[in-house]
Structure 1
Amino acid sequence: MRGSLVPASLRYADQVARSGSIQKAAKELNVAASAIDRQILLLEEDLGVELFERLPRGMRLTAAGDALITLARRWKSDERRAVTEIRQLQGVHQGHMRLVAMDSHANGFLPQFIEKLAVQHPRISLAVEIASPDDALTMLMSGEADIIAAFNLSPRRDVHVLWSAELPFGCVVAPGHELSKVATTSLQEAVHYPIALQSRALFIRRYLDARYSWLFNDPQKAVVTNSLQLVKNLARSGRYIAFTSELDAAPEIIAGSLLFRPVRDKGAEPQTVGLAIDAKKPLSRVGRIVGDLLKSELEICLRSVRQISEVSTRLDDRATGPPTKGRRNS
């Protein structure tokens, strides 16, 4: 399609909202700044409201502007879906999908998924955004994402979960760490070791804070970071343990640099990983292709991790007794 069915004025306003200024939007769109400014002024005149606050360092959406931009993005999403469906009627598996995934997926199953999609369906283009679970849901509901792969999706009427799997709650440790000698651990045992903690932006930390805040009574025994990669590197050092899922640490578990140890406490609830779409929008044929391939890669990844963990558990059965409490690796 040569042009867009969405009016230029709305597309310009959307880019200004994303860029934060008319000048930056003009560079992104390769359109004169005066043309963008004129279109926004005409929109404001037609609607009788200001869409942006003009600030010394840029433009900020008003409440009315936010409502209009939400509508514009929904129209753009609907337009892409309509074009995809028209091409599918012509017998062509061609289209564009916007996927939002988690940080831990970037060096996990995502590279394999992207490679397979490119080989098997070269006419399907893909945009991948990395975000937190909360932001992923927001993007899905605003029309900025077509499908999300996220942890701990809560039941919602406006979200349709295509697939989900439980992830046992546990921790990862380096080979040679005292907890590596046992098949499972308890929170009482784990608290004796330094902990690498993820920030409160993630569900697993909020869950620990709500249910097991006593784990953090000694702040000197914990390092807190918003970087999952740093958390895993600290665990790989052999000194720290890290509470996370087997999927978060899949590449390291498969490589043998980390071991996953489930927490056996009765109240320890499993996490989940799921694929979801907007329940109000039908899944296109291209969307189904992408969703099925995502599901397949996630299942392959989890199967690989769990096979390795089973082998590790059988070896751990030969170990002699639980680790000595209070003792730390240097």
Structure 2
Amino acid sequence: MDQIMSLHLVPRVLRYVEAVAENGSIQAASRALGISASAIDRQIKLLEDRLDLQLFDRQSTGMDTTAAGEMFIVLSRRWRADENAILSDVKQMQGVDLGLVRLATMDSLANGPLPRLLDTIANEFPRVQMEVEIMTPDDAVAALNDGLADLALGFNLKPARDLHILWTADLPLVCVCASDHPVARMSSIQIKEVRAYPLVVQSRALAIRRILEAHHTWLFADAPPPLVTNSLQLLKQMVAAGTHVALTSELDAATELASGRLVAIPISDANIRNQTISLAVSVKRSLPRICTTVSKALIGEISAIVREACRSAD
């Protein structure tokens, strides 16, 4: 892939501060940037003197960023994002799809449809660089608002004043089991019936656990589930082995449902609460044109994946 060029609009002292924070010392930043250590040290000290505060705590083992230093790192990243936006927009005016798109997303998607989404973007936009950060839903929204991410793809993103949802889809809760499990023969199942079988549940690190705890507290209060994990891969492996069942969405198990390794049984409870998956942006900043272009491709592909997952579960 072509490398994204830099216009070098970010002030050098901000680049130096960010490099020292990322590399842990001035010497390491010097090697990473190809700039003399004395030049980096001099620029940072001049800025600290002007501010009359320290950006780094200088330790014998390296340099730790202070609270003030963290603020300058955020400023540097925002400045770089604006630089990328200008370059991307200029190139698109010339008919070239070029730029950097920063995507904040969830670990459970990395274990599911994310590789297919990234492959689609790579094929359609070979000169676009994707930067993917795995976060919690709350951290993803914060990254959007702080200018550290362009797009957020995640579960159960809550509507907010500064958040604009570009696309969303419901993900009905289902009981997944191995194809030879007794539950696989049922046309539907109630949550209280699920509890009759060994259940593997998601830890609080995963978004679906919040829904289960909020609306089905008794699942966890009556008797602790025999297995709790923050790993979607482990959850699916235990279910595929036939030892456990799980409550999740078709999207989480799309690959396994399509292959027949797992079966999804609809939940028949009347008051069941669905998950959602959404692609969101911040209303506080304008997106580079390339981000808008890529977001449309992402929406098309993730919509297709959701439809395929639902068909596999039928």
TM-score (normalised: structure 1): 0.87
C-alpha deviations, 1:27-75, integer Å up to 9, x for none?
A: 4334343333222212111222111222443333322222222222111
Cα separation, 2, equivalents of 1:261 and 1:201: 25
1:125 aligns with 2:129: yes
1:293 aligns with 2:297: yes
Code of the residue aligned with 2:205 in structure 1: it is A
Check whether the contact 1:107–1:251 (CA below 8 A) recurs between aligned residues.
no
Question: Which of the residues 39, 42, 48 maps onto 1:35?
Answer: 39
Code of the residue aligned with 1:209 in structure 2: it is E
The answer for the alignment partner of 2:217 in structure 1 is 213
The answer for the alignment partner of 1:59 in structure 2 is 63
**CA-atom RMSD in angstroms:** 2.0
Deviation, structure 1 residue 218: 2.6
C-alpha deviations, 1:128-150, integer Å up to 9, x for none?
A: 22222222222222222111111
Structure 2 unpaired stretches of 5+ = none
The answer for the alignment partner of 2:154 in structure 1 is 150
Code of the residue aligned with 2:262 in structure 1: it is L
Q: How do 1:29-178 residues align onto structure 2 when only pairs under 5 Å count?
A: 29-178=33-182
Cα separation, 2, equivalents of 1:125 and 1:51: 31
The answer for the alignment partner of 1:191 in structure 2 is 195
Code of the residue aligned with 2:235 in structure 1: it is V
Code of the residue aligned with 1:53 in structure 2: it is D
The answer for the alignment partner of 1:203 in structure 2 is 207
Code of the residue aligned with 1:234 in structure 2: it is M
Q: From the superposition, tell whether residues 116 and 193 of structure 1 become closer, same or farther in structure 2 (CA, over 3 Å).
A: same
Cα separation, 2, equivalents of 1:19 and 1:172: 44
C-alpha deviations, 1:71-126, integer Å up to 9, x for none?
A: 22111111111111111222222211111222232243333332232222222222
Q: From the superposition, tell whether residues 288 and 184 of structure 1 become closer, same or farther in structure 2 (CA, over 3 Å).
A: same
Q: From the superposition, tell whether residues 15 and 268 of structure 1 become closer, same or farther in structure 2 (CA, over 3 Å).
A: farther
Check whether the contact 2:121–2:298 (CA below 8 A) recurs between aligned residues.
no
Structure 1 unpaired stretches of 5+ = 311-330
Code of the residue aligned with 2:285 in structure 1: it is K
1:243 aligns with 2:240: no
Cα separation, 1, equivalents of 2:308 and 2:113: 11
Code of the residue aligned with 1:116 in structure 2: it is T
TM-score (normalised: structure 2): 0.91
Give the SS at the match of 1:248.
coil
Cα separation, 2, equivalents of 1:307 and 1:262: 13
Code of the residue aligned with 2:204 in structure 1: it is R
Moved over 4 A (4+): none
Q: From the superposition, tell whether residues 294 and 2 of structure 1 become closer, same or farther in structure 2 (CA, over 3 Å).
A: closer
Check whether the contact 1:196–1:240 (CA below 8 A) recurs between aligned residues.
yes
Deviation, structure 1 residue 3: 4.5
Question: Which of the residues 9, 12, 18 maps onto 1:8?
Answer: 12
| Number of equivalenced pairs | 309
Question: Which of the residues 236, 255, 260 maps onto 1:232?
Answer: 236
Give the SS at the match of 2:77.
helix
* Residue identity (%): 45
Cα separation, 2, equivalents of 1:47 and 1:108: 47
Q: From the superposition, tell whether residues 21 and 231 of structure 1 become closer, same or farther in structure 2 (CA, over 3 Å).
A: farther
Check whether the contact 2:97–2:128 (CA below 8 A) recurs between aligned residues.
yes
